[in-house]
A and B are shown apart, each in its own frame.
Chain A
């Protein structure tokens, strides 16, 4: 037999070789890749539980709650624990149709089967059970293994007002979650209005609790004894400049009408009320009702979800004459005693005349008080023709208009989604009247018609400029965050480039329009409050004219300026002016001295006005 005793070294060599191979592999796992493995082990064994803070409340300028929080409950299913349940009983208790339950749970199980979702992730089955209904479900919940209730915070509106300016809160979509790592799918975010612009203040700070979980996702104690845990912090309360009473009153007055009212405190730029009609009860879009109500509101032909106060564009009509008078004086070619003949109309061509009422030969004050069309047509033509070319003349005029806030969207305001309206650039006219337009071609701009588009906010702002004698402060809604005033310097003073001295005449004219016989809105004169205003009637090719009014009050030391636009309401003084003065009275005196007018305005229904006859411009 051969001697094979040397073969024992082959065994020893093999053992050593395997041990070295193992140690190399251990080195790779534990020394070289340890960071990766440790991170992986942590993400597997440590679960982050997010604690959502309640959003901050929104208070009006007097401290009344406009938006608060309410609680509701969702029913979640945890697939790993879920057992078959009595579906009929479950649906009866949670008050959902059986088909919904079947559809939702089937979809969830399908996702798990396709490995799109983990079995350990809870699935929402029923959403938004009100706290009134939850008691009956809560005691029976133990019957449904694997299903549990989860509390969440919802928005609540004690007074059903200001839906559009307050805005809504909704689950954020993937466009947001992809863009901003703060948000996870299913989180709530302010989608519009104040909720959107003050989102960072209102949302608060999410809290995170890290716990160890075992392979079945059961909690097994705190990670690092809670060292890295953070508490959730409720969003700060936001005080806004709105006046809830004024807002509610305005919405009542605008019932059954289409249009918008904006009220601003001229010397601060604070928005006191921002009304778009028709509006809706914001509670409709919270919780369970949202699913039924949102499509209904979206498809409503009167567009209640559309904020007419800041998004719609209307021709400003005769209210624009205020701007014309100021720009003309600053240019220096008219003064208080400049007179243009009225002649009952302004003849553009042999076939076309802009009508007027026959004001003789008015001076500037009279032209405002009586709203003379011919005067301002002539003023506009003269303005443009003073320059060598119509482009330059019109360009100069447009620059004034832009400084007055027309054609701009107030980018430094905290009201989101304000639309620009329209003051067309000279190039626009070059395109439609190539090489052959003059001031005369565009004369309808001079009386606030034609291509001009402005919204109620801009029209209100016009009165602010007159009240402030030469500047306006960016309209805004934020007043206080928590106990801290919103920095007023972020809303700057915008000077319009018209000297103080030119405002006397315009103020006198606006005073006359309301307070003197022959003024276009004389019948809304109040005995104790001096209102300065200007009516407008915006021609509307699609139907009855829109009623427009802008004013401020009182004359000395103005406290409120209002811009109001009512669709298809005809002459500016018939609907817009009375409603504006009722609101001024409400704001300054907290009551009305004219209950019959108030009643008439509230009951008036202008929703379905057909065009009756051709109305005059005022």
Chain B
């Protein structure tokens, strides 16, 4: 705690240009630490992500990588010719790539994704899935600076399709998609292109109707056996497929089809206008629907699978996988409206909830302070996050603005995942609650992240428009 005040004080001493100009040192340093931790790091709770200095002082470099990545994003996106949309400013060499529609990839946009991906992959190699997911929250930032809203919608739809598709046969999802896709097409298609456009729409939706049948034959009936102690893997490939082929082949086929269809859409773009984009998304989601079960069974690790099942309330074994989430819900629920009083939470005090000082800190709040206390905490966080967004938005320097959004989105993601886990609305990923959870590295990380932005904000008015 004292260290954090000191750090906050030091941050305020430096000019904000210290951070804007030395971003590459921070970024390079973080990447070096992340590589170093893979070599000499210690494994704590299955994650090889810790430098153990003494038994009580442990440092997790991924916390500092968040700060460094935020600086890099701010640097890249504040450049004068940055855009997610192709513009005439791009150099001629890259225009060819930038012309690929649907993805709408620009070189500067792609660089942003690469800068994000390097630390994310390194942390994934540390086996720290939770911290890797934190980097997903940076994508939220991109949305403010010109990333198409279709990506956001597609991303949300993918999450929904994944959760629904794990438990249900793909047909249900496909039929719902078809209906939603048809409606969207008819709303957004430019009908002025005449009967030709209409004919192509009908042709493509006809083809799309055939797709599920084609894929359904390809994929064996595959179910998640919920009564069995372990989630049963479906074979993943039909009987006619030789067993030496990779079991994820249907998923690969689905992704290949997606690529082919994207190219076709590219050529039809002029003919059917915005409908092409919708059609592309539709076909992509169709393929994704069919790939959900292979991904679930072959890409995810067993403990990820059980966490998804816990989230979907299909796994309620209190002695096993659902131990922490179910106990956390009981602890919060037993607090009632008024709570049991500070330090009187019997359930949390008796250590029924693992990691109750870090990942499950909110269950202690819920049990001791009840509904009014935990709601108050939620509302304080909400006010804090809104304040961050408003502060970020008023920055005159684009670097500061991007950085401010990064801080807000990181805080939001931690808040959503941490509290969502304790009340069963988000999967267990194991992230700390900013400024609440016990743990030196995370507290120091959030302190740096936050105070640097405070410093930037304080210098905002010095910048002339």
Which residues of A pack against B, CB within 8 Å? 1-2, 4-5, 7-8, 10-12, 14-16, 18-19, 21-23, 25-27, 29-31, 33-34, 36-38, 40-42, 44-46, 115, 212-215, 220
Contact = CB atoms under 8 A, between A and B. Distances in A.
Nearest to B367: A41
A34 B425 contact: no
Contacts of B143: 7, 10
B371 A26 contact: yes
Given A15-B382, A15-B385, A27-B371, A45 B332 contact: no
Interface of B is mostly: helix
B330 A40 contact: yes
A35 to B, nearest CB: 9
B386 A29 contact: no
A4 B378 contact: no
10 contacts: A11-B140, A22-B420, A26-B423, A29-B329, A29-B333, A30-B371, A37-B334, A41-B347, A45-B350, A215-B351
Contacts of A19: 378-379, 381-382
In order of increasing CB-CB distance, the 7 nearest A-B pairs are: A37-B333, A41-B334, A29-B333, A30-B371, A214-B350, A38-B334, A34-B336
A7 B146 CA distance: 10
B435 to A, nearest CB: 17
Question: What is the size category of the interface that chain B forms with chain A?
Answer: 35 or more
Contacts of B346: 41, 45-46, 212
Contact of B333 (A16, A34, A115): A34
A38 B352 contact: no
A25 B375 contact: no
B190 to A, nearest CB: 20
Contacts of A45: 346-347, 350, 352
Contact of A26 (B144, B332, B349, B386): B332
Given A1-B83, A44-B330, A44-B347, A8 B145 contact: no
A409 B331 CA distance: 59
B336 A30 contact: yes
A249 B385 CA distance: 94
B393 A22 contact: no
Given A1-B83, A4-B144, A21-B425, A26 B375 contact: yes
B130 interface: no
Interface string B382-395: 10011001100100
A30 B337 contact: yes
A398 to B, nearest CB: 64
A115 B335 CA distance: 30
Contact of A220 (B350, B386, B408): B350
A4 B424 CA distance: 34
Contacts of A10: 143
A7 B144 contact: yes
Given A22-B419, A22-B425, A29-B333, 7 more contacts: A11-B409, A21-B425, A31-B337, A41-B330, A41-B333, A45-B352, A212-B350
Contact of B144 (A8, A22, A34, A38): A8
A42 B378 CA distance: 27
A2 B352 contact: no
Given A5-B393, A30-B332, A40-B334, A12 B386 contact: yes
B366 interface: yes
B425 A25 contact: yes
Query: Considering residues A7, A30, A34, A213, which has the most beta carbons from chain B within 10 angstroms of its beta carbon?
Result: A30
A341 B10 CA distance: 134
B371 to A, nearest CB: 4
Nearest to A36: B333
Nearest to A2: B146
B91 to A, nearest CB: 18
A8 B389 contact: yes
Given A25-B425, A45-B347, A215-B352, A30 B330 contact: no
B83 A18 contact: no
Nearest to A46: B346
Contacts of B336: 30-31, 34, 38
Contact of A22 (B146, B334, B378, B386): B378
Contacts of B390: 8
Task: Provide the main secondary structure of the chain A interface.
Answer: helix
A34 B350 contact: no
B423 A29 contact: yes
Given A4-B145, A22-B425, A25-B424, A41 B374 contact: no
Nearest to A119: B319
Contacts of B367: 41
B165 interface: no
A16 B412 CA distance: 11
A21 B423 CA distance: 11
B146 to A, nearest CB: 6
Contacts of B370: 30
A115 B145 CA distance: 54
Given A25-B425, A220-B350, A11 B337 contact: no
Contacts of A5: 393
B335 A30 contact: yes
A46 B350 CA distance: 10
Interface string B134-157: 000000100111100000000000
A22 B423 contact: yes
A33 B332 CA distance: 11
Contacts of B409: 11
Contacts of B423: 22, 25-26, 29
A108 to B, nearest CB: 17
Contact of A8 (B352, B379, B393): B393
Nearest to B229: A115
Contacts of A31: 336-337, 371
B188 interface: no
A10 B382 CA distance: 14
Contacts of B420: 22
Nearest to B323: A215
B358 to A, nearest CB: 17
B416 interface: yes
A38 B393 contact: no
Contacts of B347: 41, 44-45
B371 A33 contact: no
A11 B144 contact: yes
A214 B336 CA distance: 21
Nearest to B405: A11
Contacts of A15: 382, 385-386, 389, 412
Contacts of B371: 26-27, 30-31
A98 B420 CA distance: 53
B282 to A, nearest CB: 23
A90 to B, nearest CB: 29
A42 to B, nearest CB: 8
Interface in B35-87: 83
A41 B366 CA distance: 13
A42 B424 CA distance: 21
A228 to B, nearest CB: 14
Interface string B334-357: 111100000000110111100000
A470 B164 CA distance: 87
B87 to A, nearest CB: 8
| Most chain B CB inside 10 Å of its own CB: which residue of A2, A18, A212 | A18
Q: Which of A14, A42, A45 has the most CB of B within 10 A?
A: A45
B400 to A, nearest CB: 15
A1 B81 CA distance: 10
* Among A16, A36, A41, residue most surrounded by chain B Cβ atoms (within 10 Å): A41
B344 to A, nearest CB: 11
Contacts of B375: 23, 26
A27 B375 CA distance: 9
Contacts of B329: 29, 37
Nearest to B392: A8
